[in-house]
Amino acid sequence: MQTWDVVTDFISIGSGGGGMVGALAARAHGLDSMVLEKREVIGGSTAKSGGVMWIPNNPLMGPAGVHDSYEDAMAYFDDVVGDVGPASSYERRHAFVTHGPQMVSFLQQEGVRFVRCEGWSDYYPDAKGGCVRGRSIEGRLWNGKVLGPWLDKVQHGNMWDRTHLAAYAGEIATLQNQDRSLRNRLIAARARARTKLALRRGRLPVTTGWSFIGQMLFRAIQRDIPAWTDSPLRDLVVEGDRVAGVVVEREGRDVRVRARKGVLFAAGGFAHNLEMRTKYLDPMAVTDYSMANPGDTGEVIELAIRCGAAIDLIDEAVWTPTSVVDGTPLGDWNRQRPGTIIVAADGQRFCNEANSYVEVVKAMLDRNRVTRAVPSWLIFDDGFRRRNVAPGIIPAQSSAGSAMYQAENLDDLAELCDIDPEGLRAQVDRFNQNARVGRDPEFGKGENAYNRYLGDPKVKPNNCLAPIEAPPFYAAPLYPGDVGTCGGILTDEHARVLNTAGEVMEGLYATGNCTASVMGRKYLGAGASIANSSVFGYVAARHASGAGEPQQG
């Protein structure tokens, strides 16, 4: 006979998007729920990030005049993701596409407010079913002070910590080019004005992932959903063939918590676990250049494996080309702009630099199997440097060993960076000839809506292309960084964990970056990982409560 310290119905292990959505949905469907977080703050990588969700056919699209449908979303999955096995089966895609819009509607009913990321197109906009105006949404500007004492328990958002600006993730491309057009200047001025106005009124203007998590935490508090911090998971409790609860450490002792309906693993990936990175990732991506939250350490995946769970796609991450400044990894926002290229040690380009960050790193790792491409090199000239000030990414001054190298000509720059000088010279000459007329016959930079969304609106005819010709010349090393790993526990269309024999592990659900993603080996649009986590957190809660299936649409 098991003895329990606490009894509830549904437990979320992890307090990011999937964990919080799961707890709220379970309570809305009549279950007692709770959230257990190992860190001292709520929100995980979701709160730290832009907090964007890629949700096809979401309820904000129709009123904005953006057409979408179940059929288009499924066609997009088929065309881009293809057949990668059970993690992205037809059943799991169907579940994601059907439950996604309903999850957003549910959160809206709970009082969570969203805005569309207008123009942030799908990452493969020209694929079948692709959406040029975008399927991504994020949390609306919100007054964090309504959380009261809980405010200090929420992971800060990167946007606020770096800029102290209440800007939306969907405004990042504009802010990066705020001096390049009147429209961009107006949007930047609006972000500054909303920040000043809120602070003047005694509010804390919260946006991005900070807003999404903060809004959900506020609703959880209103609904008396316990959220324990500093409570790491130690073990699962199994009765017969069913997971019955968990053991967590709380205030220095083990606490046994029963889950009558289900346990949801929503604890993120293993981005900061060197042993797991070494075991599962590409050898050239082992070094931890991750921007995931500090709690992304993989213990939940390891526990699931010990308990017999199947794993899949565990060598995948949400890759992003990364600069390292003073030992800190920072995502690079310069590669999409006109006047830059990325080359390997042979001096040659190997990808469309303005494509999805995931695709660029995949190309980097593939190229490294042929010639040295880790690090790769972002090449640009003084004209680019003067047009594009990127504090913290391209420092004003630097020397060998820092984030940027400088030389008066390409040959000297190549020597500093151990790049083949003839290869680099030939590549830049070839690139410049085409860039002057707005063409990139090698890789098609600037030819799709996603590329153009991130380009410079002042540059014509292709806002992603400009020649590299004004000395001095610069090179910044780029490494295969990530914002989290995204492979792991294999689940079915109800988010139930499957064992190595393909059987359901009763009472155990999983979602998010601790699982093998429904997106397979692709990243379909801005906020794909948070969407995957949140939708299957919602799916898990509905299944645990016995709720019926939603209608297709």
Distance in angstroms (rounded) separating the CA atoms of residues 314 and 277: 10
Strand partners, 380: 340, 474
Residue 22: name the closest of 8, 5, 4, 40 by CA. 8
Residues 6 and 113 in one domain: yes
Residues 224 and 141 in one domain: yes
Amino acid making up residue 78: D
Residues 403 and 471 in one domain: yes
Residues 58 and 151 in one domain: yes
Residue 482: name the closest of 302, 276, 214 by CA. 276
Residues 531 and 398 in one domain: no
Residues 258 and 352 in one domain: no
Distance in angstroms (rounded) separating the CA atoms of residues 485 and 223: 32
In-domain check, residue 183: no
DSSP annotation of 550: P
In the structure encoding, which two tokens stand for residue 271, read together?
Answer: 């981005």
Residues 243 and 362 in one domain: no
Distance in angstroms (rounded) separating the CA atoms of residues 343 and 362: 14
CATH of the domain at 254: 3.50.50.60
Domain boundary among 482, 506, 523: 482
Contact residues for 27 (Cβ-Cβ < 8 A; gap 6+): 33, 220, 223, 225
Strands 227-228 vs 33-36: parallel, antiparallel or unpaired:
parallel
Amino acid making up residue 41: V
Residue 111 contacts residue 214 (beta carbons within 8 Å): no
In the structure encoding, which two tokens stand for residue 303, read together?
Answer: 């526990």
Give ∠ CA 38-153-139 in degrees, rounded to 5.
Answer: 105
In-domain check, residue 125: yes
Domain boundary among 464, 482, 500: 482
Strand partners, 317: 485
Q: Residue 396's pLDDT is what?
A: 35
In-domain check, residue 265: yes
In-domain check, residue 213: yes
Burial classification of residue 241, based on how many CB atoms lie within 10 Å of its CB (0-12 exposed, 13-18 middle, 19 or more buried):
exposed
Residues 307 and 324 in one domain: no
In the structure encoding, which two tokens stand for residue 515, read together?
Answer: 């699982």
- Chain centroid to CA 248: 28
Number of domains in the chain: 2
In-domain check, residue 185: no
Contact residues for 257 (Cβ-Cβ < 8 A; gap 6+): 4, 5, 6, 7, 8, 11, 34, 36, 245, 246, 247, 248
How far apart, in Å, are the Cα atoms of 388 and each of 272, 425, 437, 439?
32, 23, 21, 21
Residues 64 and 19 in one domain: yes
Residues 394 and 364 in one domain: yes
Residues 526 and 431 in one domain: no
In the structure encoding, which two tokens stand for residue 219, read together?
Answer: 């609703």
Question: 360-379 as b/e, with b when 16 or more CB fall inside 10 Å?
Answer: bbbbbbebbeeeebbbbbbb
Rounded to two decimals, what is the model's pTM? 0.94
CATH of the domain at 468: 3.90.700.10
In-domain check, residue 174: no
Distance in angstroms (rounded) separating the CA atoms of residues 221 and 234: 25
Provide the domain limits for residue 494.
Answer: 1-156+208-316+486-546
Residue with tokens 């903060």: 214
HEC assignment per residue over 374-427: CCEEEEEEHHHHHHCCCCCCCCCCCCCCCCCEEECCHHHHHHHHCCCHHHHHHH
Q: Residue 550's pLDDT is what?
A: 52
Cis-peptide into 375, omega within 30 deg: yes
Q: Residue 226's pLDDT is what?
A: 98
Burial classification of residue 77, based on how many CB atoms lie within 10 Å of its CB (0-12 exposed, 13-18 middle, 19 or more buried):
buried
Distance in angstroms (rounded) separating the CA atoms of residues 219 and 225: 9
In-domain check, residue 172: no
Which secondary structure element, helix H or strand E, spans residue 7, and what is its range? Answer: strand 6-13
Q: Residue 392's pLDDT is what?
A: 36
Domain boundary among 482, 500, 516: 482
In-domain check, residue 396: yes
Each residue's pLDDT tens digit in the chain (553 positions)?
679 999 999 999 999 999 999 999 999 999 999 999 999 999 999 999 999 999 999 999 999 999 999 999 999 999 999 999 999 999 999 999 999 999 999 999 999 999 999 999 999 999 999 999 999 999 999 999 999 999 999 999 888 888 888 999 888 888 877 777 888 888 888 889 999 999 999 999 999 999 999 999 999 999 999 999 999 999 999 999 999 999 999 999 999 999 999 999 999 999 999 999 999 999 999 999 999 999 999 999 999 999 999 999 999 999 999 998 878 888 777 899 999 999 999 999 999 999 999 999 999 999 999 999 999 999 999 999 888 754 333 333 333 345 789 999 999 999 999 999 999 999 999 999 999 999 999 999 999 999 999 899 899 999 999 999 999 999 999 999 999 999 999 999 999 999 999 999 999 999 999 999 999 999 999 999 999 999 999 999 999 999 865 544 4
Residue 490: name the closest of 313, 280, 316 by CA. 313
Strands 253-265 vs 504-510: parallel, antiparallel or unpaired:
parallel
Residues 432 and 346 in one domain: yes
Residues present in the chain in total: 553
